[in-house]
Structure 1
Amino acid sequence: MTRMHTWLHGRWGIPAVSGAAIVVSLALTHLLKAPLWGDLFMIAAAVVAGTPVVVKAVRALRNRVIGIDLLVSVAAIGAVLVRNYWEAAAVTFLFAIGHALEQATLNKTRSALAELVAVAPEVAIVLRDGQQVEVPASAVTPGETVLVKNGAKVPVDGEVIAGAGALDEASITGESIPVEKSAGDTVFAGTISTGGLLQVRADGVGADTTLARIIHRVEEAQDAKARTQTFMEKFSAWYTPGIMVLALVVGLATRDVVLALTLLVIGCPGALVISIPVSIVAGIGRGARDGILIKGGEFLETSAKIDVVALDKTGTLTEGRPELTDVVPLDEGLTANDLLQLAARAEAGSEHPLARPIIAAAVARGLDVTGLPEHTEPVPGKGIIATLDGHSIAVGNLALMSSGDATDRAATLINELAARGRTPMAVSRDGRVVGVVAVADRIRDNAAEMVRRLHAVGVKKVVMLTGDIAPVANAVGDAVGVDEVRAALLPEQKLEAVQELQRQGHTVAMVGDGVNDAPALATADIGVAMGAAGTGVAIETADIALMADDLLKLPQAISLARRTVNNMRQNITVALVTVAALLAGVLFGGVTMAIGMLVHEASVLVVIVNAMRLLRRTPAGSARRRQLEQRVDVEQRDAAAGADLDDARALQSS
């Protein structure tokens, strides 16, 4: 009984009651030969289905809006007045069914947001006074220790302080491959444990979690209007009164009231009005599922026009973690370890980012780099000069060094290393060059594939903008296949480069880390933040936020934008062709009010179903997922084989 009550009061209640009244009317009229009672039930069907429509029309008129509901209301009331009860009932019944189907399918296009809300955790297990206590997720206090057991949802954003396990982060990054977590790693609310036990220090709770920010962003984005949508709404505001005037003129000219009323029904711009927003909602929803957050319809449209992508090098095309690659002594009295120890001890007092990989490599080789130099003097743009055990040690470019044979040999070596994409530094002792060390930031495995896919989705030019020196930048650019390299740029010069590309007529997307690239990101037509899962600011401010630190998400985002805009155009075409065909059919005969409403509602459903195609995973996305899964399978097999070999060796030795 409760289920029936809920169903009748749901979206299908009114169409069901109205449809039942129509069936009874037809039975009374044609089977029982009681036309009077048949007419009464037909009027009842029209009243049941038409009352909500009339109410909406009146509310819209109070706000000075002339919409579809008014057209249907006038047509239905007019049909009743001219005693065409069947047309009145049929039009309102079909409109009610169309509205119910529209709501059902629109809810599906918003399913991505519903899925995000569904993964939001409701409870958390926290350690309080040594006891495990289950509390609502919103009641967790920042700083508390939360337990995440196998199969449980992570209730907070935080850092693992103990334990090990794996988390499915698909709800945040769009990747279904579980990620191993251990002490020091970051975890996000809404991710699901697939094994192990984690103790997590709560940092973000409730509305401060990454998941909450994503949900908020998707809500705003799906409601934001595209430029085309705004234009269509303005068009409809003039089109609907125009149809009413046309119907009035035709009615007065032909003295055919039914024809005029039919024109009102046929001219409903329902499919036209819904053609844009339904595509935007579906496209943004698909992106959210794949870990691609697009700020709104306007940015979706702009992204579809991107023909130039500008990329930062460090941290974007490369991993952003430089490592020592070369240690070349130029003094016969020094070994490679001696040279590395000398450079590392000198760099111990430096704040330069390239000092870290040198020191880390020395520690990894077991070299003693404890203590600080007696004196360290940074030389801007050149390197450092340190006093170490009474000797003057310089690490940097050759401008710091004295001339000599070793300096010439060092210059040749430095040029060779730079041409191979490495950042070389000369090391001198008491003014004499004794060797060269070099570091390099490893190029991401999928950087070249990303550039290839960008070209495949229609991007004409991929430009690398970097502050690194030209030889290193060119080597990286050649390795990944970018079309143009601009090196040795300051932040303001990156901004000027983006503006220059825009002046050439390009629609530019800028991908960067959001720090030294901030001016260029703000100036570009589309600013893209990559690996934004742990950056709340990026989620809120970037035009496109790629939640995973995955370069292949960028061509996927542009492809999605272009598919969405194409979908919008298809929907507009369907809507306009349908209205034009029906109007011609009415004016030249053959299309009745009921047939017109049926075709009209069918066109609305076609538009919605077409938009729902965007919710399907793209072949590229599916292929990427299969590739990741295959790679994990191979790694697991290799690990298992290694474990078996270790067991065999252990047995042999025993």
Structure 2
Amino acid sequence: MSALRSWMNNRWMIPAVSGLLIITALVILQVSRIDTVGNIVMVAAAVVADTRIVMNAARALRAKFIGIDLLVSVAAIGAVIIGQYWEAAAVTFLFAIGHALETATLNKTRSALAALVAVAPDVAIVLRDGEQVDVSAGAVIMGETVLVKNGAKVPVDGEVTGGTGALDEASITGESMPVEKMIGDRVFAGTVSRSGFLQVRATGVGADTTLARIIHRVEDAQGAKAKTQVFMDRFSAWYTPAIMILALVVGVLTGDVVLALTLLVIGCPGALVISIPVSMVAGIGRAAKDGILIKGGEFLETSARITVVAVDKTGTLTMGRPRVTDVIVLDRSMTREQVLTWAGRAEAGSEHPLARAILDAAVSEGFSVTGLPESTEPVPGKGIAVNTAGRRILIGNLALLTQYGISHTAAAARVADELAQAGRTPMIVAVDYTVAGVVGVADEVRPDAAQMVTNLHAAGVKRVIMLTGDAPLVANAIGSITGADEIRGSLLPEDKLNVVTALQAEGHIVAMVGDGVNDAPALATANIGVAMGAAGSAVAVETADIALMGDNLLKLPEAISLARRTVNNMRQNITIAVVTVSLLLLGVLLGGMTMSIGMLVHEASVLIVIINAMRLLRRHGRDTSVIPADSMAFATLSSTVMSSAEHKPSD
């Protein structure tokens, strides 16, 4: 019984029954001298195929919408009334089989969402009272320890508290290579263990996981409409009634009811209506598979027109993890250890982004920097002045030394200039009004930064601009490595906003890539705001126009390229739809175009449009997870920089 019910609900049931009745009617009409029985069976075939179409048309009318179903229903019923039984059966049968094919192929375009839902884990193994307990993934309690064995799906978002292993994170970031995980690393629900054994403390469960947010985001994005689609919906709302009026006028003027009904069938805008949403769904789905979340059709359409990409340096073009690269001693009475120790003690009370790098360097070398300074005085734009252990410590730039009346700074200025030209941020250290040395700090340039700029140009972006708060010398050094077209240094957050608005005033469509904190004003103002490494940020997933789930910079040009291909695909589909309708109307005017042939061509055009859109689901070009060896620019830079050996002062 269940098998019969399943078959009755199958999308192919109505076309199959209608087709069988049509074949039966044709056989009867061939072998019998009486046409009545054959005609009755033919009408039955039309009724079977047309019943659901009429019901859909009635529902649309109740919603005050005149759609394609109404055109087909009127044409089929009219054909039966005037005795065109074969035309009525053929039109409804072809429409029914076309609808089944459309449903099947449209489901393919939503395959990315289906794949995301499929990777959602069902069960979890948790430790409760020292025992391993199998529970549903949604029943895991925040803070519980979850065990992830080799081959199992990670059921929660969490932090590794024990063990090591490799996880396939393709469902989240789109990267194909497994990622090694160890204590302290983050893991995401839906990823798959390829080796090892992990103990994970749950920090996100159920609907609060990254995977759940991605699924929700893709659902919303695939349902959102682009501006072109909104226009097309308005157009079809006028077009369909216009076709009905045209058919009525033609029927009245010519007295040819068959011609009027043929116009109804031929004028169906099916391919035109579906041309845009099917491309959007396929494009957004392909992006989701590659770890790129696009907020909706409007943003995908805008991304295809991007002419300028503005990129924040820290955490985007660079790794966002500054480290000490040089400790240069300028006072003969001091050692390298003393310079770094005094710098570390001074920075212990600082909120500066580079303070952590100096503290980490001092601690890693075993130097004592415990405790806080007695007083810390930040000097905006210059550095800090600190009293600690009975000594007065200054750490900052030359302007800070000048403000506090320190002389003999020529050597410090020379070294600071050399470091800045090499891409380091120099921090001059003075102890008791004597220049002790200079500490160089650098944030490693991402190995794929230069390739990203090249790929952006290949994707059609005219200018790539690097924005940073670093001094011009440091900014120029980093910018030259990446190959950015323009470099803007010494920028405050409001300055970055001004750069974006100025570019927009010039007529550019601007994408801004940043970390979403100090770049928030520029990100919000840009035509497209892009967040990198969004897998660990619920806010970025929900709010960014484009969220790159991983830290792979090459996903940005990939997203823009996909957007352009999607918009081109939409234009191709619109062209196919318009040309098809035009040729059909020409066929009617020249004569010889029947309702059944018109419906066959119409359904063929719909399928061509869908199949064309499905091309977007294929991966395009080479795998962006592979970084060319020649883009490892930081290694090249490192070889040009002075060593951290002690330099003798030179006056």
Normalised by the shorter chain, which TM-score bucket?
over 0.9
2:27 corresponding residue in structure 1: 27
Name the CA distance, whole Å, in 2 between partners of 1:408 and 1:70.
86
String of CA shifts for 1:487-533, please: whole Å, max 9, x gaps.
11111121111111111100011111000111111111111111000
SS of 1:162's equivalent?
strand
Aligned partner of 1:233 in structure 2 is: 233
Whole-Å separation in 2 of the counterparts to 1:219 and 1:354: 41
Q: Which residue of 2 aligns with 1:417?
A: 419
Rounded to whole Å, the distance in 2 between the matches of 1:263 and 1:374 is 89
What's the CA shift for 1:563?
0.5
Q: Is the 8 A contact 1:322 1:439 kept in 2?
A: yes
Q: Distance in 2 between matches of 1:489 and 1:583?
A: 61
Name 2:619's counterpart in structure 1. Answer: 617
Q: Distance in 1 between matches of 2:310 and 2:569?
A: 27
Aligned to 1:37: 37
**SS of residue matched to 1:624:** coil
Q: Residues 174-253 of structure 1: matches in 2 within 5 Å?
A: 174-253=174-253
- Is 1:321 the counterpart of 2:316? The answer is no
Q: Which residue of 1 aligns with 2:595?
A: 593
How high is the TM-score relative to the length of structure 2? 0.94
Q: Within 2, Cα distance between the matches of 1:125 and 1:106?
A: 37
Q: Which moved more, 1:571-580 or 1:53-62?
A: 53-62
Q: Which residue of 2 aligns with 1:635?
A: none
Displacement of 1:363 in angstroms is: 2.3
Q: Counterpart in 2 of 1:564?
A: 566
Count of paired positions: 628
Determine whether 1:138 maps to 2:134: no
Distance 1:5 1:185 in 2: 50
- Do residues 113 (structure 1) and 108 (structure 2) align? no
Distance in 2, matches of 1:561 and 1:70, equals 35
Q: Distance in 2 between matches of 1:70 and 1:357?
A: 70
How far off is 1:249 after superposition?
1.7
- Distance across 1 between alignment mates of 2:379 and 2:276: 58
Aligned-residue offset at 1:560: 0.6
Q: Percent identity?
A: 70
Question: Is the 2:555–2:624 contact (alpha carbons within 8 Å) kept by the matching residues of 1?
Answer: no
Q: What's 1:441 paired with?
A: 443
CA distance in 2, matches of 1:86, 1:627: 62
What does residue range 375-386 of structure 1 map to in structure 2 within 5 Å? 375-386=375-386
Shift of 1:365: 2.4
1:94 aligned partner: 94
| Secondary structure of 1:401's aligned partner | helix
1:88, 1:618 → 2: CA distance?
44
Superposed, which structure 2 residues align to 1:221-620 within 5 Å? 221-401=221-401, 406-620=408-622
Distance of 1:133 and 1:558 partners within structure 2: 46
Aligned residue for 2:460, secondary structure, equals coil
Deviates more, 1:361-370 or 1:217-226: 361-370
Measure, in 2, the Cα distance between the counterparts of 1:11 and 1:137.
33
Root mean square deviation, CA, Å: 1.7
Secondary structure of 1:393's aligned partner: strand
> CA deviation digits over 1:415-454, x for unaligned, max 9?
1211111100111122121211110111100001001100
Query: Counterpart amino acid of 2:367?
Result: L
The 3-state SS of whatever aligns with 2:550 is coil
**Contact 1:330 1:406 (C-alpha < 8 Å) held by counterparts:** no
In 1: Cα distance, 2:126 partner to 2:457 partner: 49
Residues 281-320 of structure 1: CA deviation (Å, up to 9, x unaligned): 0000001100000011111111101001111110001111
Question: Is the Cα–Cα contact under 8 Å of residues 165 and 180 in structure 2 kept in the other structure?
Answer: yes
In 1, are the aligned partners of 2:171 and 2:190 still within 8 Å (CA)?
yes
Q: Residues of 2 paired with 1:179 and 1:75: CA distance?
A: 60
CA distance in 2, matches of 1:624, 1:451: 13
Identify the residue that residue 635 of structure 2 maps to in structure 1: none
Separation in 2, partners of 1:375, 1:625: 48
2: CA distance between counterparts of 1:110 and 1:624?
Answer: 23
Deviation at 1:111, TM superposition (A): 0.8
- Displacement of 1:367 in angstroms is 2.6
Shift in Å at residue 625 of structure 1?
4.6
Given that residues 383 and 396 in structure 2 are in contact (C-alpha distance below 8 angstroms), is that contact kept between their aligned partners in structure 1?
yes
Q: Distance in 1 between matches of 2:401 and 2:226?
A: 59
Letter of the structure 2 residue corresponding to residue 513 of structure 1: D
User: CA offset at residue 414 of structure 1?
Assistant: 0.9
Amino acid at match of 2:96: A
Distance in 1 (CA, whole Å) between partners of 2:81 and 2:447 is 73
Q: What is residue 59 of structure 2 aligned with on the other side? A: 59
The answer to whether the Cα contact below 8 Å between 1:177 and 1:628 also exists between their aligned partners in 2 is no
Distance 1:485 1:625 in 2: 26
- How far apart are the structure 2 equivalents of 1:33 and 1:195? 75
Aligned-partner residue type, residue 296 of structure 1: G
Structure 2 Cα separation of the partners of residues 552 and 505 of structure 1 = 26
Q: Aligned partners of 1:78, 1:390: CA distance in 2, in Å? A: 101
Alignment partners' CA distance in 2, 1:493 and 1:60: 53
Secondary structure at the residue paired with 2:624?
A: helix
Structure 2 SS opposite 1:161: strand
1:166 corresponds to which residue? 166
CA distance in 2, matches of 1:269, 1:486: 51
Q: Deviations over 1:578-635 (max 9, x none)?
A: 0000001011112111100000000000000000000001113xx3356699x9xxxx
1:244 to partner: Cα distance = 1.1
Which residue of the partner structure matches residue 155 of structure 1?
155
* Structure 2 residues without counterparts, runs of 5 or longer: 632-651
| Paired residue type of 1:234 | R
| Partner amino acid, structure 2, of 1:546 | L
TM-aligned CA distance change 1:64 to 1:350, over 3 Å: closer
1:124 equivalent in structure 2: 124
Give the equivalent residue in structure 2 for 1:652.
none
Is the 1:401–1:432 Cα contact (8 Å) retained in structure 2? no
Shift of 1:62: 1.7
Worse-matched range after superposition: 334-343 or 414-423: 334-343
Deviation at 1:395, TM superposition (A): 1.3
Alignment partners' CA distance in 1, 2:355 and 2:408: 23
Q: 1:350 and 1:463 mapped to 2: Cα distance?
A: 31
